[in-house]
Amino acid sequence: MTTLREALTAAIHQLAQNQHLRADASRDAELLLLHTCNLPRTTLFTDPARQLTPSQLADYQAAITRRLTLEPIQYITGTQEFYGLPFHVTPAVLIPRPETELLVEAVLQRLPSTQPHRIADIGTGSGIIAITLAIHLPRAHITALDLSPAALPIARHNAATHHVADRITFLQSDLLAAVSGQAFDALVSNPPYIPTTDRSTLHPQVRDYEPPTALFAGPTGLDIYQRLIPQAHAALSPGGLLALEIGHGQNESIQNLLAEWKDLLFINDLQQVPRIAIARRQSTPS
């Protein structure tokens, strides 16, 4: 029989042989072991001689094999935390990133929780933005839009898990096409913004596994913004809020695209890179 310590040591050694996995070999091996055996992390320290059952060992070895192909941990475990909440993820959706928490935080700081806001989340993916906003804005109704028919069931599942499905409408839509003619108080989006010319520079676990339609937006990465911002202006009520996650070095281009808007603000991420763009629709024609 194999103990937790033995299984973990062997897995770390395997992962460390891969140049792309070497830096995080210990972390990845531990996460997959705890997930496979459904154990708290403390067990590794308090009971390292605990034996794995044959099925646990087989499942763990299968998970390590998948990781050796550079499949992301989140797709292997089926979960990723966002804003302190667990979300189900599959290869049909982008893996949530910490930067997007800045987007949610910026919106929550600007929308009073006591108001019945009408909000649209464009490109909802796994539903993290729509669901987190619904939890923290209990009077809001949110329309969650995504072009991908494979993403929407994941988002609906997450909404049901977090008990906010009754306040979120999920629609398949190319940007705001499915809600043409409707008016919103706020529009939020983490759209694709990576230039296709940067594809070769991405880590293989991103480039080869996450959905390309959720990553890439033309040669400059601006294709979606160029379509979305005019649609957002038409869909927002006067004074309505637009909140966008943006890519590295795109703030000047986004500033130009938002030239007719007011109260434009860029928020930096932890690396001091402008990551979030906030603006409001003019109350009257400029």
pLDDT tens per residue across span 177-218: 999 999 999 999 999 999 999 999 999 999 999 999 999 999
Query: Residues 254, 256, 257, 260: is their CA dihedral positive or negative?
Result: positive
Q: Per CATH, which fold does 92-280 belong to?
A: Rossmann fold (3.40.50)
User: In angstroms, rounded to a whole number, what is the distance separating the alpha carbons of residues 178 and 187?
Assistant: 14
Query: Residues 214, 216, 222, 228: is their CA dihedral positive or negative?
Result: negative
Name beta bridge partners: 280. Answer: 241, 262
**Structure tokens, 51:** 């034996």
**For 4-69, which CATH class?**
mainly alpha
Give 139's contacts (C-beta < 8 A, 6+ positions apart).
113, 114, 115, 116, 117
| Look-up of token digits 């998970």 | 63
pLDDT at 36 over 90: yes
* Residue 255: per-residue pLDDT: 97
Reported pTM: 0.94
CA 62 to chain centre: 26
pLDDT at 286 over 90: no
Find the DSSP H helices in 137-283: 151-161, 204-207, 223-235, 251-257
CA 40 to chain centre: 25
Domain layout of the chain by residue ranges: 4-69, 92-280
Average pLDDT, integer, range 143-147: 98
pLDDT tens per residue across span 45-94: 999 999 999 999 999 999 999 999 999 999 999 999 999 999 999 999 99
**Structure tokens, 83:** 């804003």
User: In angstroms, rounded to a whole number, what is the distance separating the alpha carbons of residues 42 and 223?
Assistant: 47
In which band, very low, low, confident or very high, does the pLDDT at 284 lie, cut at 50, 70 and 90?
Answer: low
Average pLDDT, integer, range 255-284: 94
